[in-house]
A and B are shown apart, each in its own frame.
Chain A
Amino acid sequence: MVIDFSSNLDYVRALLPEIILCVWGMVVLMAGVWRGESSEEGPRAEGLGWLALVGVAFAAVANGWLHGVREVGTDGMIAVDGFRLFSNWIFLTAALLGMLVSFAYVYRQRLQAGEYYALMLFSVAGMMFMAGARNLIVVFLGLEVMSIAVYALSAFNRRDRRSAEAGLKYFILGAFSTGFFLYGIALTYGATGSTHLPTIALAVSNGTAHGALLLFGVALMGVGFAFKVSAVPFHMWAPDVYEGAPSPVTAFMSAGVKAAAFAAFFRVFLVSFQGAYESWYGVMWWLSATTMVGANLIALVQTNVKRMLAYSSIAHGGYLLVAITAANQASAGAALFYLLVYTVMNISAFAVVIAVSNHGEERLEFEDYAGLGRNQPGLALLLTLFLLSLAGFPGTGGFMAKFQLLLGAMDAQLWVLSVILVLSTVVSYAYYLRLAWYTWMRDPADGGSPLPVYLPIGMRLALVVGAAVVIWLGLFPGSVLDLARASAAGLGVAGPMVEILH
Chain B
Amino acid sequence: MSGAYAPLLMLFGLSVVNAIGMMVASHVLNPRRPTPEKEMPYESGMTPIGDTRVRFSVKFYMVAISFIVFDLETIYLVPWAVEMRRLGWGPFLAMVLFVAVLAVGLWYEWKKGGLEWD
Closest Cβ of chain B to A256, distance in Å, is: 23
- CB of B70 closer than 8 Å to a CB of A: no
- CB of A8 closer than 8 Å to a CB of B: yes
- Find chain A residues with CB under 8 A from B1 CB: none
Which of B40-98 touch A at CB < 8 Å? 90
Closest Cβ of chain A to B58, distance in Å, is: 12
Which of B87-118 touch A at CB < 8 Å? 90, 101, 104, 107-108, 111-113
Bound CA span A22–B101, Å: 10
Which of A1-54 touch B at CB < 8 Å? 8, 22, 26, 29-30, 33, 36-37
Asked whether A37 lies within 8 Å of B90 as measured between CB atoms, the reply is no
Asked whether B111 lies within 8 Å of A33 as measured between CB atoms, the reply is yes
Looking at chain A's contact residues, the main secondary structure is helix
Closest Cβ of chain A to B85, distance in Å, is: 19
Asked whether A8 lies within 8 Å of B90 as measured between CB atoms, the reply is yes
Closest Cβ of chain A to B109, distance in Å, is: 9
Asked whether A36 lies within 8 Å of B111 as measured between CB atoms, the reply is yes
Asked whether A29 lies within 8 Å of B108 as measured between CB atoms, the reply is yes
- Find chain B residues with CB under 8 A from A8 CB: 90
Asked whether B101 lies within 8 Å of A26 as measured between CB atoms, the reply is yes
Our pick among A29, A36, A37 for the contact of B104 (Cβ within 8 Å) is A29
Bound CA span A33–B111, Å: 6
- Find chain A residues with CB under 8 A from B108 CB: 29-30, 33
- Interface size of B by CB at 8 A reads 8
Asked whether A33 lies within 8 Å of B112 as measured between CB atoms, the reply is yes
Bound CA span A209–B101, Å: 39
Asked whether A26 lies within 8 Å of B113 as measured between CB atoms, the reply is no
Closest Cβ of chain B to A359, distance in Å, is: 26
Asked whether A37 lies within 8 Å of B113 as measured between CB atoms, the reply is yes
Bound CA span A30–B90, Å: 27
Closest Cβ of chain B to A291, distance in Å, is: 37
Asked whether A37 lies within 8 Å of B101 as measured between CB atoms, the reply is no
Residue of B nearest to A26 (CB): B104
- Choose among B90, B101, B112 the residue with the greatest number of A CB atoms under 10 Å from its CB: B112
Bound CA span A29–B108, Å: 7
Bound CA span A37–B107, Å: 12
Bound CA span A33–B106, Å: 12
Which of A187-228 touch B at CB < 8 Å? none
Closest Cβ of chain B to A323, distance in Å, is: 37
Bound CA span A37–B101, Å: 20
- Find chain B residues with CB under 8 A from A30 CB: 104, 107-108
Mask: chain B, 26-46; 1 = CB below 8 Å from A; 0 = not: 000000000000000000000
Bound CA span A36–B110, Å: 10
Closest Cβ of chain A to B93, distance in Å, is: 9
Closest Cβ of chain A to B50, distance in Å, is: 27
- Find chain A residues with CB under 8 A from B104 CB: 26, 29-30
Residue of B nearest to A112 (CB): B112
Bound CA span A33–B113, Å: 11
Bound CA span A33–B114, Å: 12
Bound CA span A458–B111, Å: 30
- Find chain B residues with CB under 8 A from A36 CB: 111
Closest Cβ of chain B to A7, distance in Å, is: 11
Bound CA span A142–B96, Å: 22
Closest Cβ of chain A to B21, distance in Å, is: 38
Please give the residue numbers on chain B whose beta carbons come within 8 Å of chain A beta carbons, in ascending order: 90, 101, 104, 107-108, 111-113
A-B contact pairs, 9 of them (CB 8 A): A22-B101, A26-B104, A29-B104, A29-B108, A30-B104, A30-B107, A30-B108, A33-B111, A33-B112
